[in-house]
Amino acid sequence: MIEVRGLSKTYDEIEAVRNIEFNVEAGEIFGFIGPNGAGKTTTIRILATLLLPSAGSARICGHDVVKSPEEVRKVMGYMPDHWGVYPDLRVREYLDFFAASYGIPRRERARAVGDVMELTDLGELSNRLAGALSKGMRQRLCLAKTLIHDPQLLILDEPADGLDPRARIELRELLRELARMGKTVLISSHILTELSDLVTSVGIVEQGELLMSGPVEEIVARLSGPRFHLRTTAATLGRALEILLAQPGVEAHLLESEELEFSFHGQEEAVASYVRALAVGGVEVLGLERLRADLETVFMAVTRGRVQ
């Protein structure tokens, strides 16, 4: 759906984006994460055909963003980080205006507007002046506008910025709903925690460079070794810890009584040899469970805490 190759952008002296490469597959919710000034908006504006790259290329649904911007705009909805609403238009008029500017025929427009208002829960505000909406309501209006031409791909630049906790949850629900409808979503944020339970794949940028990208599960698997939860008896717990710590490459620590966690580098199957060592050492293994590493722990390790 999105293919970015060797993308760079230099403003005067500043190299805002350096040789960035990533792919987003259809149906993904891709989190584009990085601290202030990392180059997220710059990359996004290039994808949205609003800014020319200094080098490299980007394709959306196979269309080159520089050579075929019109084709790209048809399949993509872009929500900028800052935008102005026309304050004197009512919500419904505002959406109708954008529907018209996307070339949606008059007879289909009312339905298109109704659909996006329902989706973004704007129905009760349809006669409100755009200029009289709160920040969260405006955010929803902007999202509705972004959806008006039923794009396959949504590119959202920090859509949760400035929203209260409830509105953030609602936004997440809405994005999930859009993903269920088959849309692909690229969403930027400087806060990983906000996206960690939403995204299916991520790209982490820092100072114009992409530190890593790919499906969440792959990244987690690549960057953190297998992790297991072990349950044993109180009598053999200390012994279990001792045995595990004696294995090369194994890290282990106690949890509450009679339980511990351990991790290691390499293939998951290697756990069999550790279980054998435990049994030989007289440890009574009552339970063993594979744990999923979470994205956040992995990222904190990779970015040394700079991305938060």
Nearer to ligand ATP, 38 or 293 (CB): 38
**Is residue 42 a contact residue for Mg ion (CB under 5 A)?**
no
Q: Given the rule CB under 6 A, which of 8-16, 54-62, 244-252, 264-272 is the region that contacts ligand ATP?
A: 8-16
- Tell the smallest beta-carbon distance from residue 16 to ligand ATP (Å): 3
Among 3, 21, 23, 37, binds ligand ATP (CB under 6 A): 37
Burial class of residue 74 (count of CB atoms within 10 Å of its CB; 0-12, 13-18, 19+): middle
The whole-angstrom separation of Cα 18 and Cα 6 is 8
Among 16, 20, 32, 41, binds Mg ion (CB under 5 A): 41
User: In whole angstroms, how close is the CB of 49 to Mg ion at the nearest point?
Assistant: 17
Q: In 76-124, which ranges are continuous DSSP H helix?
A: 91-101, 106-119
Joined together, the tokens standing for residue 97 give: 């205006």
Minimum CB–partner distance for residue 190 and ligand ATP (Å): 5
140: partner contacted, choices Mg ion, ligand ATP, none (Cβ within 5-8 A by kind): none
Binding partner at 190 among Mg ion, ligand ATP, none, C-beta below 5 to 8 Å by kind: ligand ATP
Q: How many residues bind ligand ATP (CB under 6 A)?
A: 13
Tokens of 153: 């791909």
Rounded to the nearest 5 percent, the helix, strand and coil shares of the chain are 40, 30, 30
Q: Taking the complex as a whole, how short is the minimal distance between the CB of residue 159 and ligand ATP, in angstroms?
A: 12
Interface stretch with ligand ATP, choices 39-47, 112-120, 165-173, 227-235 (CB under 6 A): 39-47
Print burial letters for 221-252: b (CB count within 10 Å at least 16), e (below 16): eeebbbbbebbbeeebbebbbebbeebeebeb
Among 39, 56, 77, 80, binds ligand ATP (CB under 6 A): 39
Comparing CA positions, the residue from 28, 20, 39, 33 lying closest to residue 1 is 28
User: Which range, of 32-40, 114-122, 141-149, 198-206, touches Mg ion by CB under 5 A?
Assistant: 32-40
Backbone dihedral region of 150: left (phi > 0), alpha (psi from -120 to 50 degrees) or beta?
left
**Residue 129: both structure tokens together:** 């002046």
Q: Which residues bind ligand ATP (CB under 6 A)?
A: 11, 14, 16, 34, 36-42, 81, 190
